[in-house]
Amino acid sequence: MKLGVVGKGGTGKTTLSALLAKSYAEQGRRVLAVDTDSNPNLAQNLGLDLGVTDEVPVLPRSLAVGLGDGTVTPAGLIAEYGVPTPSEVTILHAMRVSQAGAG
């Protein structure tokens, strides 16, 4: 199953996403949460502290927009860029703006 949560800023997308991910994980399902917000906070809502959240690697832009060379498998992608959370949800950061004008 794939589920996307989209909407205007400030409407609770991150909170809803975290609640859904935790709920599925509590049911014993494997859950991969991909945070595509330029200011990613989903990892914190899944139980990672701020220091660890800031160290979650960001997917290379070429992979995030589908321009990879085709040699990366989903399992390899998760192994390299995924970080397990205390909620038993694996988190991926698809983007992060780290400096002004970088977005």
Condensed to tens digits (0 to 9), the pLDDT of residues 19-69 reads 999 999 999 999 999 998 888 899 999 999 998 888 888 888 777 666 666
- What pLDDT was estimated at residue 67? 63
Dihedral, CA atoms, 21, 72, 53, 44, nearest 10 degrees? -10
Cα separation, 49 vs 38, in Å, equals 18
- What pLDDT was estimated at residue 100? 53
Mean pLDDT, the chain, integer: 87
Mean pLDDT of 10-20: 95
